[in-house]
Amino acid sequence: MGGLQLVESPIALRLVSAASRPRRRLSLATFGHGLRPFRGCNGMICVSKARQTHVEVSSTYLYKLTSPKKVKFSTRSTSASVQPMTQDITEDMHKDYPISGDEIRTRFLNFYASRGHKILPSASLVPDDPTVLLTIAGMLQFKPIFLGKEPRSVPCATTSQRCIRTNDVENVGKTTRHHTFFEMLGNFSFGDYFKKEAIVWAWELTTKEYKLPPERLWISVFKDDDEAFSIWHDEVGVPKEHIKRLGEDDNFWTSGITGPCGPCSEIYYDFHPERGSESADLGDDSRFIEFYNLVFMQYNKKDDGSLEPLKQKNIDTGMGLERMARILQQVPNNYETDLIFPIIQKAANLAMISYAKADDATKTNLKIVGDHMRAVVYLISDAVLPSNIGRGYVVRRLIRRVVRIGRLLGIKGAGEGNPDGAFLPGLAKIVIELSNQIDPDVTGRMPHILEELKREELRFVQTLERGEKLLDQFLASALLNASTNGDRPCLAGKDVFLLYDTYGFPVEITAEVAEERGVSLDMNGFHIEMENQRRQSQAAHSTVKLSVGNEVELAESVPDTEFLGYDMLSANAIIKGLLQNGEPVTEVAEGSDVEIMLDRTPFYAESGGQIGDNGFLRCKGVEDSKDTAIVEVKDVQKSLGNIFVHKGTIKEGKIEVGLEVNAIVDPRLRQRAKVHHTATHLLQAALKNVIGQETSQAGSLVAFDRLRFDFNFHRPLFEHELMKIEELINQWINDSTLLQTKVMPLLDAKKAGAIAMFGEKYGEQVRVVEVPGVSMELCGGTHVSNTSEIRGFKIISEQGIASGIRRIEAVAGEAFIEYVTTRDNSMRHLCSVLKVKAEDVTGRVENILEELRIARNEVSALRTRVAILKATALVNKAFIVGTTNIRVVVESMDDTDADSLRNAADYLVDSLQDPAAVVLGSCPGDGKVSLVAAFTPSVVKMGIQAGKFIGGIAKLCGGGGGGKPNFAQAGGRKPENLSNALEKARVELIAALDGKTS
């Protein structure tokens, strides 16, 4: 075939042309930037937009150049090869894309905004939903609306939602499309439009806004969804051969065993239309990619499996931003889009390798780094810090995976002349640079994110080093077992997995080190352990659970509760609903526990860390003023959106739906809660002032008796810092500042600098509580009107509760007075016992402790003297072993303590002189066993080591131990076995020494 061939060579590119065709001049700039076909060509070429290179060709045929290069062409004739280039080929590290990921996102949101959708911000990666660990779908923030638990604030919405999924983490980097972090573009209808509009708009967005060729698009519909098939074919015009009917597994969305559900319709892009329509399989990842999923939520699945139409039909869609970017940017996979590739480039630079020239395994590792770095940066930004539980474990696992892979790639330190530094912060900076349109708040949290990543990486590197030592032990054990059993040495799969999972040791490195020692790996056992872990991971919150039942029925009959508690502590209200044992009832009798829904209430329902109010509900008689019923309210919770559930016990009479009650909040307890809530705001402000603005709230509790505040920080607070925090807060209390409370739009509040409370969900209008000049927070809780009401503040404790999470407990107001009074009474009693004044207590206690230390030392010295006296008698019990006259003592020393036993062993080896071996045992009490072995240098040179010897003996006593070759200690919990253990020590020691001297 005649035409132009582009043949890549290390030093040049050759042009081989057919001489029979007319010459014409083409500008490579005609192709634009990125991969874009030139009209009349059957291939593509990738060029740098900045380089206006021209080449003479004699054909309209161009073949694809697979590796992006900066090239310079020159031709002498239509049949001659191009001469060597005037400069070396260098990898273009700054790709040009036809359209950016940010532009794709903006176009999507604007498209639906122009069609009446409200653009809403991405929800946090920490969902306000106990059924899921992390935000895994764009619809999650709308779940209460889909369930009918919350009224819709808008008829339809559009979002770009940040999502995290880790159930397919092992596929990341290996496929073209799997991610742990991704953005889901979505449009949602809450009973507004339905199937027709969703389909027509999706097609219009895809083909007109994004200009994807219609002939490359395929559609899937549920097998029984004739309506969707008809809309796609009859109204949109998609050919029948491009519409596939699929079964329930592929195209019917369910939220769980019961609940909202409905058929789906998906749009696929075809990368290889030349393969034709016959027998096309939409599940073929090498040809198709599904990028848009339309869920028609139209049924409620009942307990018996039957489907009933929903009263409100909803639309829930999702378009994968990374997938659409891959299509529009014409790159081989999601990772080489401008959303991820800059991170990969940075990692490649740190590893001093070329991504374009790397083998598949290296490219896979670089892709994993690019993906995981996005996940950890956004998780830490959303206050999820590395730990060993829950969400924190997800962050820790991903960070450790990146660190492991970085070491495998050869990344050494920060890549900035600091081989011992951390490299994750450098990668995180690239992620943050790309974050402005995803989440603008990430940039402001950069110092905190970088510091957390640095700290976690350096901590893990130390763990890796411990893993290296453990690997050495495993290999030594494998070699020993093989020599004993006559087998080929093999490292157990569970040990390989322990190194990988707990210590982050790459399997490749384990295999390489093991091979050097002649040890193979049990990879089957390793894969079994991996599969067990994968199943456990997938079982943990990987789907969004919805349910429709009594709750929705109750929500339809019970209105939202009007909260009056900001302005009053008592009010008349009507009982709108009753629950007993979780079931709706119409009346409840005396002595029963009950849950009561009122139309209005002064009771605060637990939220924002503040517990619910306590108090009473009183029902008045019609003819007199006596109470016909009294309910003691012990807790108030929010349920079904904004319905307040008053939980309590009927103390007198009976109550029924429709009765009027007088709801009375306990004013003393309310005041305690108000004081502690305002003090919590002051505490957060003081923490930021003293230890840094980057610290943020990670949880809180506002109770009647105390407050608890969890915050992100990497170390314990120093005593002077705690004193400074208390001093600041008490000064603000003393300033008698009036609080200001106002309601404003959420965006205005954030611009004003208001801090959001952890775990709270906010609408478009928010309540802002401000202590002028000190604190401004979004908060729906109850607060004092003046800081002077707090009276005083005292920190009770400061401690770590997880990696990177500290907790302060404190008291204020009446609880502060009670705490100080109790402490004062304790001090008075202590002064009375010690017979000193309060100011002299510290000195007196220090003197007592010093006297106690001296006494203990004297006792210890006496015990040692007694042990040595006993040891003196044991010198005469020494026996001779071997031809070199090795003196050996193996004896029990009754109840001698461990320290004295060690001193006795030292005395004996000194007295017996080299060569000598001593093994002593004792039962010091409390069911304990102490053992010690001491060998002189000549014995150690024979290959008999105290540490290894004593460990085997201690097993008989239900314990273990070890130490140096010349001296070791061990312990156990079976004193009844000590005599047998010492007899074994005697026999084995004689055999070992005889064997070495014969």
- Dmax (CA) of the chain: 116
Long-range CB contacts for residues 712-715, cutoff 8 Å, separation at least 24: 712/383, 712/385, 712/448, 712/452, 712/804, 712/805, 712/806, 713/804, 713/805, 713/806, 714/451, 714/452, 714/455, 714/804
pLDDT score, position 87? 30
List, for residues 559-590, the tens digit of each pLDDT value.
889 999 999 999 999 999 999 988 889 999 99
Does residue 353 sit in helix, strand or coil?
Answer: coil
Among 64-68, 149-153, 234-238, 583-587, the range with the most confident prediction by mean pLDDT is 234-238
Count of beta carbons in the 10 Å neighbourhood of residue 850: 10
Confidence of residue 65 (pLDDT cuts 50, 70, 90): very low
pLDDT band at 463 (very low <50, low <70, confident <90, very high): confident
Question: In Å, how far are 673, 705, 734, 823 from 818, measured between CA atoms?
Answer: 15, 9, 19, 9
Q: Rounded CA gap, 946 and 965, in Å?
A: 5
Query: CATH number of the domain at 550-665, please?
Result: 2.40.30.130
In this predicted structure, what is the pLDDT of residue 417? Answer: 56
Q: How far is residue 52's CA from residue 27's CA, in Å, rounded to a whole number?
A: 7
The whole-number pLDDT of residue 504 equals 67
What pLDDT is attached to residue 14? 28
Which of these ranges, 38-47, 379-388, 903-912, has the smallest mean pLDDT? 38-47
Map tokens 């042990």 to a residue: 867
Closest residue by Cα to residue 506 from 344, 368, 354 = 368
Structure confidence at residue 486 as a pLDDT band (50, 70, 90): confident
Q: Are 787 and 811 in contact (CB under 8 A)?
A: no
Cis before 772 (ω within 30) = no
On whether 179 is known to bind a ligand per the annotation, the reply is no
SS3 898: helix
Q: Hey, what are 512's tokens?
A: 């390489």
What is the C-alpha separation between 32 and 205, in angstroms, rounded? 24
Give the pLDDT confidence of 16-28 residue by residue, as tens digits: 233 333 333 332 2
In this structure, are strands 755-756 and 627-639 parallel, antiparallel, or unpaired? Answer: unpaired
**What pLDDT does residue 440 have?**
82
> How big is the CA angle at 799 (ends 797 and 803), to the nearest 5 degrees?
160
Task: Tell me the C-alpha distance between 627 and 620, whole Å.
Answer: 5
Residue 865 predicted with pLDDT over 60: yes
| Residue that the structure tokens 């020599």 belong to | 483
Which of the pair, 620 or 937, is modelled with greater confidence? 937
The answer to whether the annotation marks 783 as part of a ligand binding site is: yes
Tokens at 111, concatenated? 């498209």
Give yes or no for a contact between 369 and 405, defined as CB atoms under 8 angstroms apart. Answer: yes
Residue 302 phi/psi, 5-degree rounding, is -90, 175
Query: What's the rounded Cα separation, in Å, for the pair 28 and 24?
Result: 13
Bridge partners (DSSP) of residue 316 are 188, 295
672-822 matches 550-665 in CATH topology: no
The helix/strand/coil state of 152 is: coil
CA separation for the pair 38, 954 (Å, rounded):
80
- Domain 672-822 homologous superfamily, CATH: Threonyl-trna Synthetase; Chain A, domain 2 (3.30.980.10)
For the segment 295-300, the average pLDDT, to the nearest whole number, is 90
Residue 603 or residue 518, greater confidence: 603
pLDDT, residue 416, reads 60
Ordered alpha helix ranges (H), 94-190: 101-113, 143-146
Of 639-643, 780-784, 909-913, which gets the smallest average pLDDT?
Answer: 639-643
- Is residue 173 left, alpha or beta, with left meaning phi > 0 and alpha meaning psi from -120 to 50? left
Specify the residue for token string 């490359």.
Answer: 216
Is the confidence at residue 6, as pLDDT, over 60? no
Span 818-856, pLDDT tens digits: 999 999 999 999 999 999 998 898 899 999 999 999 998
Q: 725-753: per-residue pLDDT in tens?
A: 999 999 999 999 999 999 998 888 888 88
Q: Is residue 460 within 8 Å of residue 452, measured between CB atoms? A: no
At residue 623, the pLDDT reads 55
User: What's the chain's average pLDDT?
Assistant: 83
Residue reference for tokens 């404003």: 744
Number of helices followed by number of strands (H, E) in the chain:
25, 42
What's the confidence (pLDDT) of residue 997? 65
Of 87-101, 321-335, 698-712, which gets the smallest average pLDDT?
A: 87-101
Asked if 349 contacts 209 with a C-beta cutoff of 8 angstroms, the reply is no
Cα–Cα dist 96/98, whole Å: 7
Amino acid at 97: Y
Contacts 24+ apart (CB under 8 A), 532-539: 533/497, 533/501, 534/170, 537/166, 537/167, 537/169, 538/167
Percent of the chain with pLDDT over 70: 85
DSSP H helices, 486-506, are 493-501
- Positive or negative: CA dihedral 707, 708, 711, 716: positive
Return the CA Rg of the chain: 37
The per-residue pLDDT for 535 is 62
pLDDT tens for each residue of 349-400: 999 999 999 999 999 999 999 999 999 999 999 888 887 677 888 898 899 8
- Least confident range of 73-87, 324-338, 661-675: 73-87
Q: Is 46 annotated as a binding residue?
A: no
Tokens 């610290």 -> residue: 695
Fold designation for 101-334: BirA Bifunctional Protein; domain 2 (3.30.930)
Q: Which residue has the higher pLDDT, 145 or 996?
A: 145
* Structure confidence by residue, pLDDT tens digits, 519-542: 999 999 998 888 777 665 544 444
pLDDT at 252: 92
Do the annotations mark residue 677 as ligand-binding?
yes
Give the lowest-confidence range in 127-136, 183-192, 538-547. 538-547
User: Which of 297, 255, 251, 254 minimizes the C-alpha distance to 129?
Assistant: 255
CA end-to-end distance (rounded Å), the chain: 86
pLDDT for the residue 255:
64
Instruction: Please name the residue ranges forming H helices in 666-765.
Output: 667-691, 719-734, 746-751
Residue 8: per-residue pLDDT: 31
Return d(Cα 567, Cα 315) in angstroms, integer: 40
Nearest to 646 by CA among 629, 663, 658, 659: 663
DSSP tag of 802:
E
Residue 13 CB neighbours (<10 A): 20
Strand ranges inside 427-512, DSSP E: 490-491
Length of the chain measured in residues? 998
Q: Does residue 915 have a cis bond before it (omega within 30 degrees)?
A: yes
Query: What torsion, rounded to 10 degrees, do the Cα atoms 174, 178, 181, 182 define?
Result: 140
Whether pTM > 0.75 for this model: the answer is no
State how far the Cα of 478 lies from the Cα of 472, in Å rounded to an integer: 10
DSSP strand pairing (775-778 vs 765-771): antiparallel
When pLDDT is averaged across residues 712-727 and rounded to a whole number, the result is 93
The residue behind tokens 């062409």 is 73
Is residue 414 within 8 A of residue 422, CB to CB? The reply is: yes
Percent of the chain with pLDDT over 90: 48
Q: Which fold has domain 870-995?
A: Diaminopimelate Epimerase; Chain A, domain 1 (3.10.310)
Mean pLDDT across 633-657: 91
Is residue 256 predicted with pLDDT exceeding 80?
no
Residues 682 and 771 sit within 8 Å (Cβ to Cβ): yes
Average pLDDT for 878-902 = 88
Neighbours of 781 (CB within 10 A): 24
pLDDT in tens, 927-968: 889 999 999 999 998 888 888 898 888 888 988 887 888 999
- 3-class secondary-structure state, position 321: helix
The tens digit of pLDDT for each residue in 755-771 reads 876 556 677 789 999 99
Give me the residue spans of the domains in the chain.
101-334, 342-537, 550-665, 672-822, 870-995
Residue 545 is which amino acid? K
> Which tokens hold the place of 436?
């402005």
Cα(158)–Cα(193) distance, rounded to whole angstroms? 13
